[in-house]
Amino acid sequence: MSIDHTFEIGRDERCKLFLNISGLNEGGNEINEISANLYAYDSNTGTSKFTCSLSINDLGRLYNHLGKYNMIKSVVPKETGKFIEITGNNMEGILSILSASDTASLIPALQNIIQNKLSQDDINTILGRKESLIEFENKLSQGESINEPEWQKFFEKNEWIFGYGLKYRYLKILQREAHVSGSDLDGRNEVISDFLMSDTKFTKLVELKKPTTPLFKNYKNRSDAWCLSNDLSDAVSQILSQKANWEINSQGNNYTSEGNKIKELTHDVECILIIGSRTELSGSDKEKAMKLKTIELYRRNLRNIEIVLYDELFERAKFIVKDSLIE
């Protein structure tokens, strides 16, 4: 069955102009069997003025020619769209139109720009990721002078640094300084996690220590392994306490500071501990190898706790900025 595809392009005082795509059937056709027909007739008398038959390739060339003009398309379902011409590099006009656009119009326009005009470097620049990466590196170089609350603020502002999570699931922050337990009757001893995060389905807990936090004691033990520091052991104990408390308290109704209900589930919650850096792997080559072996064996055998060093997190952020693709 033949399908009619006719669109009224426009009209003046006397004539109407139409575009008709012919040769389209339900089963589909080869492209050389399809044609575009432009025709006009007198709107008063109905007299035909002209008819011009174009191949689909000719119509494509016309479309590409129109694409050379600086226009923004506002997509409306089941309509051909509305075009607004912006002459030259009229940045003020572009910003004015984009500001007035609704989401349904703005997103396709930006997607088209990103697809055809912007490189990965451009996108990261727009998102401020390059500057954040530099800030991250500067903070690492400042050592003890950057405290934990400052790191909290930095990661809250740049949650993209957590990337796709440690298991390639994108993480977002639900709540900073999440109160994951009740307190004693006197209001003390409440358990607080630095971040409660989400992978859209399940909650996760993140605990931050400083990049200068010691990972090792200054001696090895008898089993050919280096002794881990009390700071590291205490941090793991702390996040285990958060995990146990949140397992209980997550089962009720919980809300973020903005009043949004936390809908993500909590089952054997995964935890992330960000602590220390590879500068701790110091000493002779043998001592470095022993320390590396010790920390790797330790963190690989912790159940549902991922220990990430600050410089490892920085390398992940660098990968997101320089090598990954934004879909």
Per the model's pLDDT, the better-predicted residue between 247 and 113 turns out to be 247
For residues 273 and 275, give the distance between their C-alpha atoms in angstroms, rounded to a whole number: 6
CATH of the domain at 261: 3.40.91
pLDDT tens-place string over residues 145-164: 999 989 988 988 888 887 65
Residues 164 and 133 in one domain: yes
The per-residue pLDDT for 184 is 43
Q: Is residue 122 part of a domain?
A: no
Banded pLDDT at 125 (limits 50, 70, 90): low
Q: Is residue 78 part of a domain?
A: yes
Is 239 buried (19+), middle (13-18) or exposed (0-12) by CB count in 10 A?
Answer: buried
pLDDT greater than 80 at residue 15: yes
C-alpha angle 256/257/258, rounded to 5°? 85
Cα separations in angstroms, 96 against 84, 99, 171, 248, 256? 12, 5, 33, 50, 34
The per-residue pLDDT for 78 is 42
pLDDT greater than 60 at residue 188: no
C-alpha angle 141/308/277, rounded to 5°? 30
The per-residue pLDDT for 293 is 92
3-state secondary structure of 34: coil
Q: Is residue 45 part of a domain?
A: yes
The per-residue pLDDT for 175 is 66
The per-residue pLDDT for 173 is 67
Q: Please report where in the chains the tokens 């027909």 appear, as a residue.
A: 37
Residues 98 and 148 in one domain: no
The per-residue pLDDT for 154 is 92
DSSP β-bridge partners for residue 208: 274
Residues 27 and 168 in one domain: no
C-alpha angle 175/210/182, rounded to 5°? 40
Residues 105 and 151 in one domain: no
Residues 29 and 57 in one domain: yes
pLDDT tens-place string over residues 26-44: 544 566 677 788 888 888 8
The encoded tokens of residue 89 equal 């590099």
Tell me 229's DSSP state. P
Looking at 58, 89, 117, the residue that finishes a domain is: 117
Is the CA virtual torsion 69, 112, 104, 96 positive or negative?
Answer: negative
Q: Which of 163-167, 185-189, 312-316 has the highest mean pLDDT?
A: 312-316
CB 190 within 8 A of CB 181: yes
Looking at 117, 144, 160, the residue that finishes a domain is: 117
Residues 289 and 207 in one domain: yes
Q: Which residues contact 79 (CB under 8 A, 6 or more apart)?
A: none
Residues 54 and 137 in one domain: no
Q: Is residue 123 part of a domain?
A: no
Residues 225 and 77 in one domain: no
What phi-psi label fits residue 14: left (phi over 0), alpha (psi between -120 and 50 degrees) or beta?
alpha
Output b/e per residue, 149-185; b: 16+ Cβ within 10 A: eebbebbeebebbbbebeeeeebebbbbebbbbeeee
Full domain range(s) for residue 163: 129-322
The per-residue pLDDT for 254 is 67
This prediction has a pTM of 0.56
pLDDT greater than 90 at residue 6: no
What single string gives the DSSP state of each residue in 181-196? S---TTS----EEEEE
Residues 109 and 247 in one domain: no
* Mean pLDDT lowest among 80-89, 112-121, 170-179: 80-89
The per-residue pLDDT for 104 is 64
The per-residue pLDDT for 34 is 76
pLDDT tens-place string over residues 58-82: 877 887 777 666 554 444 444 444 4
pLDDT greater than 60 at residue 50: yes
Q: Is residue 147 part of a domain?
A: yes
Q: Of 203, 146, 147, nearest to 173 (Cα)?
A: 203
Per the model's pLDDT, the better-predicted residue between 212 and 267 turns out to be 212
Q: Is residue 124 part of a domain?
A: no
Q: Which of 35-44, 200-209, 236-245, 262-271 has the highest mean pLDDT?
A: 236-245
pLDDT greater than 80 at residue 181: no
Q: Of 279, 276, 283, 291, nearest to 214 (Cα)?
A: 276
The per-residue pLDDT for 275 is 94
Looking at 74, 94, 117, the residue that finishes a domain is: 117
Residues 174 and 302 in one domain: yes
CB 266 within 8 A of CB 204: no
pLDDT greater than 90 at residue 211: yes
What percent of the chain is predicted at pLDDT more than 90?
A: 20
Residues 78 and 157 in one domain: no
pLDDT greater than 60 at residue 325: no
Mean pLDDT of the chain: 75
Per the model's pLDDT, the better-predicted residue between 119 and 86 turns out to be 119
Residues 143 and 271 in one domain: yes
The per-residue pLDDT for 259 is 73
Q: Is residue 240 part of a domain?
A: yes
What average pLDDT does this structure show over 183-197? 57
Q: Is residue 327 part of a domain?
A: no
Domain count, the chain: 2
The per-residue pLDDT for 142 is 92
